[in-house]
Structure 1
């Protein structure tokens, strides 16, 4: 049987829900994580990889980290090196969309193949434990007095924590262009800067700061969710009087040029993985919100997110 005919048969069986998991198995999947080790993309990618092997959707997963430029460097490498490879995956999400909007790179996400949105995570803003700033109001008061005095640390320019800081500035009457934002290539660098007192306020997903919040080395002062996160005693920006609600979602794409049948097969592998205990444990541990989308729903969501983020970033003076 020809390979393309076989893959079409696989896709049809997967859609019907009648394909046993071992038949899905790829010997090795290759995953590009477009960020340095230790951050949210890295945690999500490696958690997904563990779940893929637990689901027997892959015998092994090979990881490659390529940080920088809001994931654009990793995107470019992935798009150029994996054309037509049905066993290649790319971690991506809202941060990458923001980077594309601000950076206008020659390689576009649309060259790759959408597979699935996985999770949504809201930004938590923290200060070092010994900071004289105890609340977000303290930060805002300093921001109004001297915008340059508040150094915001987080992911790449255009990340959701960067956008949130600019949204906050605009709401309290500070020119968003005066936000003193320090971009880091990965979560590990940002954590070190916060703990070392090299930035005033740090922002990222709760999962990146959880260890240091629990140990008392960081003090969380706000979260960008609509309501407080379950089990986490951090006040929202909104309840403190600042209408800043913004989620950071993460997903996965396939290589450029794969066939519809290969896309369907990769989608079925990912859907099998997120049913495993390994994945559900990771979701609970990292305070992720499940936000699974595939197919046309995911295509439409990404298109909407590009438009929405572009509008927010324009109003915040970032574009």
Structure 2
């Protein structure tokens, strides 16, 4: 091949690789999942990746799990490694917002590119099947007697289940600062701790506990929704006289410094993927509630969430 023809070929390849996947409907998506395998972010990221492929937005998806610090470790890696990359995505959500408020990491979501909110989900609290406690009332009574004896297991500090545990304590007259909260780096670790009886009560999204609840290995004792969730036969905390309601949403960010055109192309690709049967099946299977919101509207929502969660944490005695 002549040198000029060879150089033209290289330039053509470079041009193709710089075009967002959603624009050319082919290529590789790099999906950062800022948690260990087995949790809500992991299941969301992998379901989204499958849908991107099935909807022909991408040819392949490469996953990178990086757990720790409520997603801050994964966020840091993403911010530093995905600058200007139109094919990089990161799963995130309210847990990361809470973790940033409590942990104050050196990186922040404002350094990334907000793309879309995907789902909303409420937390459910469960007991191991062999627990001496049977209801949330039993847990609350023990909490009042000896706050430190009740081990609450869940996601990282600042997660919605952590905030909910502090809110429960406050509502029943216990100092939230005295709760014994055990944070795990991923849903898999938390599930193993609950099943092994290493924590008193566990909290997470219903989808993460569904199979264990169905098989009787976990006993659900309360959900953080305002009213009963369709398809989930678990009493709300409010029904049990505990005025606590808090939701958990998940979304997607793009890399820092991508152009407005690249951002729009990614949002269009995500919309196409979330309308595909593959994603709709995952939504139904996991009991996720659709909560699509994109672009500047989503960016404003995240800013408001920071303010709202911070106020809730202050009120609950967490910060």
The C-alpha deviation readout for 1:237-284, integer Å capped at 9, x for no partner, is: 011111111000000000000000000000000000000111001111
Q: Where do 1:1-319 residues align within 5 Å? A: 24-319=24-319
Q: For residue 22 of structure 1, report the CA deviation from its aligned partner.
A: 8.0
Q: Provide, for residues 73-131 of structure 1, a one-character-per-residue CA deviation record: whole Å limited to 9, x for no partner.
A: 00000000110000000000000000100111111110000000000010000001111
Contact 2:223/2:237, CA 8 A, preserved across alignment: yes
> How far apart, CA to CA, are the structure 2 residues paired with 1:229 and 1:239?
12
CA–CA separation in structure 2 for the residues paired with 1:313 and 1:25: 43
Distance 1:132 1:32 in 2: 40
Contact 2:38 2:188 in 1 (8 A): yes
Contact 1:24 1:269 in 2 (8 A): no
* Alpha-carbon distance in 2 for matches of 1:263, 1:280: 23
Kept in 1, the 8 Å contact 2:33–2:90? The answer is yes
On the 8 A contact 1:34/1:91 being kept in 2, the answer is: yes
Structure 2 residue aligned with 1:17: none
Is residue 26–residue 87 contact of structure 1 (8 Å, CA) maintained in 2?
A: no
Q: Could you say what secondary structure the match of 2:318 adopts? A: coil
Structure 1: unaligned runs, 5 residues or longer: 12-20
Is the Cα contact below 8 Å between 1:24 and 1:265 reproduced in 2? no
How far residue 132 of structure 1 moved from its aligned partner, in angstroms, is 1.6
Contact 1:32 1:65 (8 Å CA) reproduced: yes
1:260-317 deviations in whole A, cap 9, x for unaligned? Answer: 0000000000000000111001111111110000012101110110000000011111
Cα separation, partners in 2 of 1:36 and 1:230, compared to 1, 3 Å? same
The structural deviation recorded for 1:26 is 3.6
Work out the CA distance in 1 between the residues paired with 2:28 and 2:107.
26
Structure 1 residue runs of 4 or more that deviate by more than 2 Å after TM superposition: 21-24
User: Which secondary structure state, in structure 1, belongs to the residue aligned with residue 156 of structure 2?
Assistant: coil
Compute the TM-score of the two structures, normalised by the length of structure 2: 0.93
**What secondary structure, in the 3-state scheme, does the structure 2 residue paired with 1:58 have?**
coil
Aligned partner of 2:4 in structure 1 is none
For 2:87 and 2:246, how far apart are their aligned partners in 1? Answer: 32
For residue 226 of structure 1, give the secondary structure of its aligned residue in structure 2.
coil
User: Residues 22 and 265 of structure 2 are in contact (CA less than 8 Å); yes or no, is this contact kept in structure 1?
Assistant: no
Deviation per CA, 1:37-87, whole angstroms, max 9, x where unpaired?
Answer: 000000000000000001000001100000000000000000001100000
Distance of 1:247 and 1:237 partners within structure 2 = 13
TM-score with structure 1 length normalisation?
A: 0.93
Contact 1:35 1:74 in 2 (8 A): yes
Partner-residue secondary structure (3-state), 2:59: strand
Indicate the SS of the match to 1:84: coil
Unaligned runs of 5+ in 2: 1-10
Matched pairs, number: 305
Paired with 1:22 and 1:41, the residues of 2 have a C-alpha distance of: 22
Aligned partners of 1:228 and 1:234 also within 8 Å: yes
Higher-Rg structure is: 2
